[in-house]
Amino acid sequence: MSASKDFLLSSYDFNLAPECIAQVPMEPRHSARLLIVEQKQDDLTAARHVNVWDWQKELRKDDLIIVNDTRVLKARLRVRRSGGGLAELLVLEPQQGGKWLCLARPAKRMKPGDYLWLEALEQEAIRLQVLAKDIDSGGRLVQFPCCYCDREAMEELLERYGEVPLPPYIENKDTTDGDRYQTRYATRPGAVAAPTAGLHLSDELLNALDKKGVNQARVTLHVGLGTFRPLDEEDLTDLHLHKEWVEVNNEVVDAVAKCRACGGRVIAVGTTSVRALEGAFFAGGGTLKPLKGNVDLVIKPGYRFGVVDGLLTNFHLPKSSLLLLVSALIGREKLLALYAEAIERQYRFFSYGDAMWIPPEAVI
């Protein structure tokens, strides 16, 4: 019965009081709390409780940490509709010729053929046009000037007109300074949400890991709908996720091979790093190969990991695809028991919250 529950969305629900949701990040980054999962068959809540700074004690020389170097765009745009009303776009991903898939609010007021005006203080107004409704996402295909044809070009426009798309559960949004909602190694523009486990890695902690002989490699997964879109189908058997753009290059493949040869462990920082690595492994037919393109891999209980040995991750939203992924590593019942323990101990949840370390020996 337990196994069948693994494929029901309602089995990934839990109650979380509003005061458990982190509203501001910890300073310094590595001072957040860290729950270390321990593998004891007779104790679902077996764990140690330290701080992220102590994570360096858990890693070994020749281990390899894989981080996601995506950078969050100022992807929230305020626009004026032709009738004068205000609306909002969340810029998701490029199509062709300056066309972009966007989430729209209020979507019903933005119909194909409608014009929108992008405005900002001390900036020239730019005319956009709604071209079509996207059935899969419920969003809108919007025509921008043709010069904004890729993520790098679009970042220039978004820097002038956009705002950092902080999650809706963060009540006091500071849209003027998005540095704290970026990882310290964020270099590849394209995400609309941060790979939040990486927010804990300070320069000091990264330097300490380097001195210990822990290696680092970088993948890119531009966080989009596939990561943050809520699930709404109770039956998870044939779950599909929206595609997200991934790059796993030759250097990553070589670093993993070298790590294995030296007896090290491959440690993913965040669920997006897991999806990038396992997506490349899946696309490679059971071998980790370079990959540059879209990935929609679903990782849920029963999945057999081909690359990742351990995971540093945050505490995630109920009924999310991220809970399914972490459950695939340690089991749904154990994960929910640990979440209940974390709530009891007043851990901070979601993007600015605390972290969980799942060492390889705790993986099922």
Strand duo 99-105 + 86-94: pairing: antiparallel
Is 132 exposed, middle or buried (CB count within 10 Å of its CB: 0-12, 13-18, 19+)? middle
d(CA 141, CA 358): 40
2-72+180-362 and 76-161: identical CATH topology: no
- For the chain, which residues score pLDDT lower than 50? 1, 176
Torsion angle (degrees, nearest 10) of CA 208, 209, 212, 218: -140
End-to-end CA distance of the chain: 18
Which pTM value belongs to this model? Answer: 0.95
- Please report the pLDDT score of residue 2 as a whole number: 60
* 101-158 pLDDT, tens digit each: 999 999 999 999 999 999 988 889 999 999 999 998 899 999 999 999 999 999 999 9
Q: Would you kindly state where each structural domain of the chain is located, as residue ranges?
A: 2-72+180-362, 76-161
Sorted by sequence, the CB contacts under 8 Å of residue 240 that are 6+ apart come out as 296, 298
Which H helix or E strand runs over 22? none
What are the C-alpha distances in Å from 144 to residues 11, 97, 141, 157, 205? Answer: 42, 8, 10, 10, 41
The predicted-structure confidence for 283-319, as pLDDT tens digits, reads as follows: 999 999 999 999 999 999 999 999 999 999 999 999 9
Dist. CA 355–CA 192, nearest whole Å:
21
What's the CATH architecture for 76-161?
Answer: Beta Barrel (2.40)
CATH of the structural domain 2-72+180-362, one choice from 3.40.1780.10, 3.40.50.300, 1.10.760.10, 3.30.420.40: 3.40.1780.10
pLDDT score, position 257: 98
Q: What is the DSSP string of 263-327?
A: T--EEEESHHHHHHHHHHHHHTTSS---EEEEE-----TTPPPSS--EEEEEPPPTT-HHHHHHH
